């Protein structure tokens, strides 16, 4: 039996809807037939230039329709794609290249300069531009777009199995070193078959993609659209800097489904009057990546009561969404926690206490995941893989792997899980164990606080440990009242010792609070 692979989604939709628009960016679009032909040509080019089954092929591209061509072309060559953020520091870029050792690297005119600084002679460089648009030639082997366009447009014969690796996503480890999460074709298919069915995605839908290509959220965007024969609208980086323009795109382009990072939804609610927008075609809004403060969820749901809102949870190591909660009613209290829901199809989640026993209803434990969505582990790092992907302590049968997420949660009476925070956001101060996210939620529940972050910081000058709150306020004078207002929401031992007014809260590209950057900046004060 021929295995079903991730690139078969494109092949099937090409046969069904050859003239339907597959992908759009602010400057171009292509049909399923054009995407199919271009991907096949790229695949044949890679094979011709020595790329073998399960070789890594990195790509560093601007946000455009070329990304979909690159991903499908790499998969069709039986290779593994490795997306690299074009804004990555040069040192991180070099570490990723050194770790995955790609046989080829795909870039464009915008990312060419950075590529020149990291390539070696044995890497084939594919530039998705015509040579007349480019600067003088590169070191090493390089191929331009005109050479790709002369390739055969027929699909090569696929040799991969569904258990082979499809892509590697590099995330930041606790040590600061990038970790390459290996995701197989089977992982993708397990996720996408459920997602398309769960959200009722059809060929008439338009999905908006605002997630970076090196972020697991893009897996939902690209493969759900390919599976359903729908249209993927890829927002440019420039567009995402202007929330009102992003909402204009949703309205003018009749976007029907959007999965966005929580921080982007929060930013939009802070800077745009949502009640002035209509967005008639938009049916479903999914948010993920980090907790969306309930105050901003209320604003979204009050502005668009007819839309369907979903809180999605899932680590990169589990491919996509592991639990889902359909929010049917507008929360009444901005301090109310939004559940992350229950496990998706073919996935099991449960909570383990510190003694490896299963946490009961209402008890706090570490969220663990098992099922076909689990990654193969970390590329080239068996030690970290064994540390995170462990034998299920609740099942003695060897080979029953679970992923220890490091996330703390509790199970409600209704069967839904509530996310409480990270194990590493728990700090101990004056004998009390405190989760700083609880303080942050209490701060953001105030209408005068736009955003907040709390860290436990040692003052070298006074040799004391203090809870420090960074707040983005719409009224600087409100700072004096913060301590008094917080007394009504959190215990006294959780009250920050200092409040610092800042223009913005540092966040990672994945929308999470960058606590390392905050601590580093506080040391300079």
Per residue in 442-460, pLDDT (tens digit) is 888 876 788 889 988 876 5
pLDDT of residue 335 exceeding 90: no
3-state secondary structure of 25: strand
User: Residue 387 corresponds to which tokens in the numbers above?
Assistant: 């540390």
Superfamily name with CATH number, domain 347-421: Luciferase; Domain 3 (2.30.38.10)
Considering the four listed CATH numbers 3.40.50.980, 3.30.465.10, 1.10.150.120, 3.10.129.10, the one that applies to the domain covering 207-333 is 3.40.50.980
∠ Cα 282 289 432 (to 5°): 135
Q: What is the pLDDT of residues 469-500, one digit of tens each?
A: 888 886 655 556 777 778 777 877 788 888 88
Output the CA torsion sign for 452, 453, 457, 460.
negative
Where do the structural domains in the chain lie, given as residue ranges? Answer: 24-184, 207-333, 347-421, 430-523
Per-residue pLDDT, 447: 66
Looking at per-residue pLDDT, the higher value among 281 and 132 belongs to 281
The proportion of the chain whose per-residue pLDDT surpasses 90, expressed as a percent, equals 63
Per-residue pLDDT, 463: 52
pLDDT of residue 224 exceeding 90: yes
Per-residue pLDDT, 426: 67
Contact between residue 366 and residue 407 where contact means Cβ atoms under 8 Å apart: yes
The proportion of the chain whose per-residue pLDDT surpasses 70, expressed as a percent, equals 92
Per-residue pLDDT, 422: 81
Q: What is the pLDDT of residues 226-236, one digit of tens each?
A: 999 999 999 99
Q: What is the pLDDT of residues 412-424, one digit of tens each?
A: 999 999 998 888 7
DSSP string over 87-148: TS-HHHHHHHHHHH--SEEEE-TTTHHHHHTT--TTSEEEESS-GGGS-SPPSSEEEEHHHH
Q: Do domains 24-184 and 207-333 have the same CATH topology?
A: yes
- CATH of region 430-523: 3.30.300.30
Identify the weakest region by mean pLDDT among 271-275, 332-336, 507-511. 507-511
- CATH of region 24-184: 3.40.50.980
pLDDT tier, 117 (very low <50, low <70, confident <90, very high otherwise): confident
Looking at per-residue pLDDT, the higher value among 167 and 399 belongs to 167
- Mean pLDDT, all residues of the chain: 89
pLDDT of residue 174 exceeding 70: no
């Amino acid at each position: 039996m021929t295995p079903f692979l991730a690139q078969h989604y494109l092949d099937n939709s090409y046969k069904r809807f050859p003239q339907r628009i597959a992908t759009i960016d602010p400057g171009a679009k292509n049909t399923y037939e054009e995407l199919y032909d271009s991907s096949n040509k790229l695949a044949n080019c890679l094979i011709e230039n020595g790329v073998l089954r399960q070789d890594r092929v990195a790509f560093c591209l601007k946000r455009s329709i070329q990304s979909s061509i690159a991903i499908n072309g790499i998969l069709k060559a039986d290779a593994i794609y490795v997306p690299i953020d074009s804004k990555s520091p040069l040192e991180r870029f070099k570490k990723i290249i050194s770790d995955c050792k790609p046989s080829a690297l795909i870039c464009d005119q915008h990312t060419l300069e950075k590529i020149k600084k990291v390539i070696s002679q044995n890497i084939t460089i594919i530039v998705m531009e015509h040579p007349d648009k480019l600067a003088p030639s590169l070191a090493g082997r390089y191929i331009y777009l005109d050479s790709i366009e002369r390739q055969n447009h027929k699909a090569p014969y696929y040799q991969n199995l569904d258990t082979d690796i499809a892509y590697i996503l590099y995330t930041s480890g606790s040590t600061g070193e990038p970790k390459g999460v290996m995701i197989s074709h089977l992982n993708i298919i397990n996720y996408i078959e459920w997602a398309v069915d769960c959200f009722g995605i059809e060929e008439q839908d338009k999905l908006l993609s605002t997630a970076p290509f090196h972020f697991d959220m893009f897996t939902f965007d690209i493969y759900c659209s390919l599976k359903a024969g729908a249209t993927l609208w890829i927002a440019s980086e420039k567009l995402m800097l202007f929330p009102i323009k992003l909402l204009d795109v949703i309205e003018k382009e009749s976007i029907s489904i959007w999965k966005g990072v929580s921080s982007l939804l929060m930013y939009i609610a802070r800077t745009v009057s949502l009640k002035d927008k209509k967005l008639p075609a938009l049916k479903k809004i999914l948010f993920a990546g980090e907790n969306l403060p309930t105050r901003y969820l209320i604003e979204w749901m009050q502005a668009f009561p007819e839309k369907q809102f979903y809180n999605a949870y899932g680590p990169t190591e589990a491919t996509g969404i592991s639990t889902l909660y359909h929010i049917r009613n507008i929360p009444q209290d901005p301090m109310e926690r939004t559940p992350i829901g229950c496990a998706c199809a073919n996935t099991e989640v449960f909570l383990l206490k510190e003694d490896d026993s299963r946490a009961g209803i209402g008890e706090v434990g570490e969220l663990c995941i098992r099922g076909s969505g689990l990654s193969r582990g970390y590329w080239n790092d068996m030690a970290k893989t064994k540390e995170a992907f462990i034998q299920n302590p609740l099942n003695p049968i060897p080979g029953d792997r679970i992923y220890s997420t490091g996330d703390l949660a509790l199970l409600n009476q209704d069967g839904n899980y509530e996310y409480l925070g990270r194990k590493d956001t728990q700090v101990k101060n004056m004998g009390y164990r405190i989760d700083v996210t609880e303080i942050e939620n209490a701060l953001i529940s105030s209408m005068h606080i736009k955003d907040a972050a709390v860290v436990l910081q040692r003052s070298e000058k006074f040799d004391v440990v203090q809870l420090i709150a960074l707040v983005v306020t719409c009224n600087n004078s409100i700072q004096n009242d913060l301590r008094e207002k917080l007394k009504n929401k959190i215990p006294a031992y959780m009250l920050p010792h200092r409040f610092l007014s800042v223009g913005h809260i540092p966040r990672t590209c994945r929308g999470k609070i960058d606590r390392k950057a905050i601590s580093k900046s506080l040391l300079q004060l």
